[in-house]
């Protein structure tokens, strides 16, 4: 069973509907006792990094998420949820993340090499596969839907599963061990996004490991 972690800042409706379309057994809850029953987790996110971490810290969900990951349960972060997986963010002042993956969340530059970039980055961009992963099984690329003003800067190249070119190389899909993330919204990214979600479900069920 999949648990969508509800901490009040997620794209809960669209993620829930995507799982329903795939006939996936899931729960949506902020309650740790309920969440504990799940085999794998989705951490969605919309909004500011610092606000999200404040809620996770205040509710005890930071410790809970770190514990279930340490116990070996898979976790998938989506959009802001992916950024929260990393060590820190400079958004609205430096703040600490879940520290499940090494790296820092930084703002997309407004100019690169004399080219002006629209920030936030909003729209469809092509994925460039960088490393093999169960999350990208049977996928060779495609376009995904992004909406974000910040991106992850990490030296952990093995964790970069796919990138997207937006003046800078945006980590689009990340993964290490049982921790995964997508900067884009897979539930809004047509067949490519649904394929990634299906691969994650298989991984949680033990089929894709």
End-to-end CA separation in angstroms for the chain: 16
Q: Dig out the tokens for 90 from the structure.
A: 């400079």
What count of residues does the chain have? 209
Q: What is the dihedral of CA 82, 85, 90, 91, to 10 degrees?
A: 40
CA 83 distance to own-chain centroid: 7
Q: Which residues pair with 152 in a beta bridge?
A: 105
- Out of 58, 187, 205, 207, the active site residue is 187
Residue 79 designated active-site: yes
The bridge status of strand 142-148 relative to strand 115-116 is: unpaired
Q: Spot the catalytic one: 79, 91, 121, 148.
A: 79
For residue 59, give the H/E element and its range. helix 49-59
Q: Quick check: is 185 catalytic?
A: yes
Active-site residue among 156, 185, 191, 205? 185
Residues labelled catalytic: 79, 185, 187
């Amino acid at each position: 069973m999949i648990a969508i972690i509800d901490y009040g800042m997620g794209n809960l409706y669209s993620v829930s509907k995507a799982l329903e379309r795939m006939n996936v057994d899931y729960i949506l809850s902020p309650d740790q006792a309920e969440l504990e029953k799940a085999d794998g987790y989705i951490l969605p996110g919309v909004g500011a990094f610092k606000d999200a971490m404040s809620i996770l810290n205040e509710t005890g969900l930071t410790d809970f998420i770190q514990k279930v990951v340490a116990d070996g349960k898979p976790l998938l972060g989506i959009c802001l949820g992916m950024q929260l997986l990393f060590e820190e963010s400079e958004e609205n002042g430096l703040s600490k993340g879940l520290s499940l993956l090494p790296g820092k969340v930084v703002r997309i530059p407004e100019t690169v090499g004399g080219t002006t970039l629209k920030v936030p980055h909003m729209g469809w961009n092509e994925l460039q596969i960088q490393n093999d992963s169960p999350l990208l099984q049977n996928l060779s690329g495609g376009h995904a839907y992004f909406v974000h003003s910040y991106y992850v800067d990490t030296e952990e190249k093995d964790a970069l599963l796919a990138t997207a070119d937006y003046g800078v190389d945006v980590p689009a899909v990340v993964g290490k061990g049982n921790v995964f993330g997508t900067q884009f919204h897979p539930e809004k990214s047509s067949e490519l996004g649904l394929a990634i979600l299906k691969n994650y479900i298989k991984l949680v069920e033990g089929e894709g490991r």
